[in-house]
Amino acid sequence: MGKVAFIFPGQASQYSGMGRELAEKYSAARAIFDEADKALGFPISKICFEGTEEELKSTALTQPAILTVSVAAMWVLSEKRIGADFVAGHSLGEYSALVAAGSLKFADAVRLVHKRGTYMQEAVPAGQGAMAAILGLSPAVVADACKRAAEGGVCTAANLNSPDQTVISGDAAAVKRAIEIASQSGAKRAVLLPVSAPFHSSLMMPAQERLEKDLRATTFADPHVPVVTNVDADTIKKGDEAREALIRQVTMPVRWEESMRMLLDEGVNTFIEVGPGRVLTGIMRQIERSVTTLNVEDEKSLQATVDRITAAKSDAA
């Protein structure tokens, strides 16, 4: 078989009940939830298992919740002797990827993303920033729509997800204008996203400056698996590079399509989405349909993934 990449989801993958089944069935997963509760000083496990949609939409809670579920799922996979040749994570997911690669301790990561979420929420007053997904237009056409819509404000590409999907971010009024321009330019869909802040735009600079202090005070080991970073769409092999990438990531776009194409060029033909939801699996289908995409978020998806990987290994042998 070819190479395997673990890819870790970011915000908007959350749902109530996520991770509960894995925590009930596997002590390795349960231990991660317990560690998260202890590190944060409040029961994030309860928010994952029973939280309301409103609670789970709060950025300061969403981020540690998704990270915890992702790392719990990753530990169960590693107990099943399934590992990765490369790791990558979408935005917040990059923290999960660094934990998987041994660069960042889980307790440090969960505290960092709780702060990251808090800082992001506080960077821009509620209602002043927005994000929108534009489907069916090339990144270049979307960039032009953003430029025309800005009118002195901020409007920029935040997530370059696939040839067909770009998420934009900035001042609420400018983002709304960009939606109209994109619709007139022939977008299949252009919709506002239910997020509480304009992530990956220059409006996040106050959050970046606050988070940088915390990141500089945190120890990063050299990863034992190559990590593909969002900001450069390239692999890093040093802990210091991981830290710098996370600092820049707050205000810079997520270059997801380029990151995935880089992994394809490296010979990856199996992508396992580790954590809640199947957002990245869907994006992968827009980038390259010929690869194997699997996911692990509950018992059923875990078993299906283990069976597929085991079968592929025995075929290769």
Q: How far is CA 302 from CA 67, 82, 120, 299, in A?
A: 17, 11, 33, 5
Residues 242, 103: contact at Cβ < 8 Å?
A: yes
The Cα–Cα gap between 37 and 43 comes to 5
Residues 210, 119: contact at Cβ < 8 Å?
A: yes
Q: How far is CA 276 from CA 44, 131, 170, 292, 294, in A?
A: 15, 21, 27, 18, 12
70 classed as catalytic: no
The Cα–Cα gap between 303 and 300 comes to 5
Q: Which distant-in-sequence residues (6+ apart) come within 8 Å of 257 by Cβ?
A: 160, 161, 162, 163, 287
How many CB atoms lie under 10 A from the CB of residue 139?
18
Active-site entry in 45, 162, 196, 200: 200
91 classed as catalytic: yes
The Cα–Cα gap between 220 and 200 comes to 23
Residues 197, 240: contact at Cβ < 8 Å?
A: no
Active-site entry in 91, 162, 169, 201: 91
As annotated, the active-site residues are 91, 200
